Amino acid sequence: MDSVSAREVGRAIDEVGAENVGAFIGEPVQGAGGVIMPPDGYWAEVERICRARDVLIVSDEVICGFGRLGAWFGCQHYGFSPDLMTVAKGLTSGYLPMGGVMVGDAVADVLEAGGDFNHGYTTSGHPVCAAAALANLAILREEGLVERVRCVIGPYLARSWRGLAEHPLVGEARMVGLMGGLELSPDKAGRARFGKAGEVGALCRDFAFADGLILRATGDCMLVAPPFVLSESEADLLVARVRGALDRTLAEVRRLGWM
């Protein structure tokens, strides 16, 4: 796949003038947007375009960071070097709330040269949350959980997850690391969308919830992001329950005449 979408970034910057653009901000993979992966070569081309125009790159690692894609950061998975990174969720694995911005040397040098970097929130660097983050990072490292996502449980879940593409209600099944999306469609071949966006996704989510599975719906795309300690039998159970929710959704959609 070429990088038409990356070239759109260049076009958008040139339209307003590179001197008027501070930074390009993007998620390595759009997470809550539907686990939307960039086309091959997208990030390399975005990096080339931004560097050529002296535009900073901010990688939004709030979801992708700390192992979700099977690398410590999403930018490493896609091989680009951002100037700044926003981080949150995986920093503490959600046990306590903490977010942050990581700043590369080139930007930090400018800030330092200007004197104090006055930037903060009331609870910035909260010691209890910071302790939870340090403990979490130590566990990720000591138990090799990022490698486990990349080499063991990610590929294991991806195999059966992609098998869900055969279900009559699924237009596409995609997974990267331990983050998966299922695009529901009334027309497998054409991958058309349902007329009433979000209603079929909500049905499917509710069937999954009723069966004890937390499945998120973004419109008619079903999302999962299971914990890194997921066992193979739990992965099997997860896929079986998704399949059950899909079957029940299909029956309901047919009963309602939506398909």
Ligand X SMILES: Cc1ncc(COP(=O)(O)O)c(C=O)c1O
Distance of CA 116 to the CA centre of its chain: 34
CA distance 254 to 34: 24
Nearer to ligand X by Cβ, of 27 and 83: the residue is 27
Shortest gap between Cβ of 69 and ligand X (angstroms)? 12
SS (HEC) of 131-175: HHHHHHHHHHHHCCHHHHHHHHHHHHHHHHHHHHHHCCCEEEEEE
Decide: is 25 part of the binding site for ligand X (CB under 6 A).
no
Nearer to ligand X by Cβ, of 63 and 230: the residue is 63
Q: Identify the residue among 31, 34, 70, 177 touching ligand X (CB under 6 A).
A: 31
Name residue 224's beta-bridge partners.
180
Location of structure tokens 């400018």: 110
CA distance 57 to 84: 7
Stretch of residues binding ligand X (CB under 6 A), selected from 60-68, 120-128, 199-207, 231-239: 60-68
Q: 216-218 and 179-184: which strand pairing?
A: unpaired
Q: Identify the residue among 63, 71, 178, 179 touching ligand X (CB under 6 A).
A: 63
Nearer to ligand X by Cβ, of 60 and 220: the residue is 60
126-155 residues in contact with ligand X (CB under 6 A) are: none
Residues at the site binding ligand X, with contacts judged by CB under 6 A:
27, 31-32, 60, 62-63, 88, 99
